[in-house]
Amino acid sequence: MSIRDIHTPVLLDRCVELLGPALQHDGAVYVDGTLGMGGHSEAFLERFPQARLVGLDRDPDALRIAGERLARFADRTTLVHTVYDGIREALGEAGVGRADAILYDLGVSSFQLDEAERGFAYAQDAPLDMRMDPTGGMTAADVIATYGEGDLRRIFERYGEEKLAGRYARAIIAARADAAIERSGRLVDILQDATPSALKNAGHPAKRVFQALRIEVNGELAALERAIPAALSSLAVGGRMVVLAYQSLEDRFVKRLFAEAVRSKAPAGLPMEMPEHAPEFRLLVRGAELASEAEAESNPRAKPVRLRAIERVREVQ
């Protein structure tokens, strides 16, 4: 099967509808902060022949695949190996000052989930890796082997919102005393054994723990908290940004940072807002938009998505 058959970009038409108005002029710059397999970027390059792409991804394999997919647009494409909070540096590498449209499609990509040996999926036995950039850094097995009970409990609670965090942390500590936990299959067995019988039908016990490990290994929330302000500051006036989030922690971060961006800078107590205090940004959608029932049914990975969008309306003088 071709990559287009196995990879369906989430909320593609809506992303084009929201970002398209900012890409109508010659030399417009579209930034895909989470390039993945290039599905969104391919559509934007096809529909906006006057625009150029700056694509970011921390995964060298994703950059290679996207590069092959987008080869026919090579004359207006710059791909950069970096985490998505490196947007300013990536624009500089591309010789660009500001972006007109930015897309962040957060979380683990379908490519990474489908590559069993990467260890992201609890449904497949594989080495506990979970690095989005496999060229360096700690693995999930390293976290399991070296973190104390308190730290394991903390990341399971904070990044997985796991109610059994303490119970699972204790089970892991006890199990690793017998033998190193290096494969996802063994970790899943440990978590299942530690789950009370009454809760075993309340969703897979490994889902939240694997999410927490992935976020910890890749520093995802810390990168996101840096990335959103960096991206907002990189937008030209009239520039737009869309963020697709797939879990509540990510979406809450985005919601908070967008709310701060659209807030008036007027000091409390002023009878009227002065022009210099007006917000620099405005929200393009009310709250968070969901995928339609039809898209969620045809593309299961769209089911949890939350879309938020924002536009820069003025420059600070």
Query: Where in the chain are the domains?
Result: 3-105+220-312, 116-218
- The yes-or-no answer to whether 3-105+220-312 and 116-218 have a common fold is no
Which segments are annotated as binding site for S-adenosyl-L-methionine? 38-40, 57, 84, 105, 112
Q: What are phi and psi of 244, to 5 degrees?
A: -105, 115
When the candidates are 2.60.120.280, 3.40.390.10, 3.50.50.60, 3.40.50.150, the CATH number that belongs to 3-105+220-312 is 3.40.50.150
CA distance 79 to 92: 12
Confidence of residue 58 (pLDDT cuts 50, 70, 90): very high
CA distance 51 to 96: 12
Give the pLDDT of residue 197. 87
Q: Which of 3, 91, 81 is nearest to 52 (CA)?
A: 91
Give the pLDDT of residue 273. 61
For residue 40, pLDDT beyond 60: yes
pLDDT digits (tens, 9 = 90+) for 224-257: 999 999 999 999 999 999 999 998 999 999 999 9
For residue 309, pLDDT beyond 90: yes
pLDDT digits (tens, 9 = 90+) for 263-294: 876 666 566 666 666 789 999 999 999 999 99
**How do beta strands 29-32 and 52-57 pair?**
parallel
Give the pLDDT of residue 268. 64
Give the pLDDT of residue 317. 63
For residue 200, pLDDT beyond 80: no
Which segments are annotated as binding site? 38-40, 57, 84, 105, 112
| CA triple 222-19-49, angle to 5 deg | 120
Mean pLDDT of the chain: 90
Confidence of residue 310 (pLDDT cuts 50, 70, 90): very high
Residues near 115 by beta carbon (within 8 Å), at least 6 away in sequence:
61
SS3 track for the chain: CCHHHHCCCCCHHHHHHHHHHHHCCCCCEEEECCCCCCHHHHHHHHHCCCCEEEEEECCHHHHHHHHHHCHHHHHHEEEEECCHHHHHHHHHHCCCCCEEEEEEECCCCHHHHHCHHHCCCCCCCCECCCCCCCCCCCCHHHHHHHCCHHHHHHHHHHHHCCCCHHHHHHHHHHHHHHCCCCEHHHHHHHHHHHCCHHHCCCCCCCHHHHHHHHHHHHCHHHHHHHHHHHHHHHEEEEEEEEEEECCHHHHHHHHHHHHHHCCCCCCCCCCCCCHHHCCCEEECCCCCECCCHHHHHHCHHHCCCEEEEEEECCCCC
Q: Are 230 and 88 in contact (CB under 8 A)?
A: yes
For residue 3, pLDDT beyond 60: no
When the candidates are 1.25.40.10, 2.60.40.1180, 1.10.150.170, 3.40.1350.10, the CATH number that belongs to 116-218 is 1.10.150.170
Confidence of residue 315 (pLDDT cuts 50, 70, 90): confident
Give the pLDDT of residue 111. 59
Confidence of residue 301 (pLDDT cuts 50, 70, 90): confident
Percent of the chain with pLDDT over 70: 90
Residue 145: other Cβ atoms inside 10 A = 15
Give the pLDDT of residue 166. 97
For residue 208, pLDDT beyond 80: yes
Lowest mean pLDDT among 55-64, 212-221, 258-267: 258-267
Give the pLDDT of residue 124. 85
Give the pLDDT of residue 1. 44
Give the pLDDT of residue 276. 62
pTM: 0.89
Q: Are 216 and 143 in contact (CB under 8 A)?
A: yes
Give the pLDDT of residue 20. 98
Q: What are phi and psi of 55, to 5 degrees?
A: -110, 130
Confidence of residue 204 (pLDDT cuts 50, 70, 90): confident
pLDDT digits (tens, 9 = 90+) for 164-188: 999 999 999 999 999 999 999 999 9
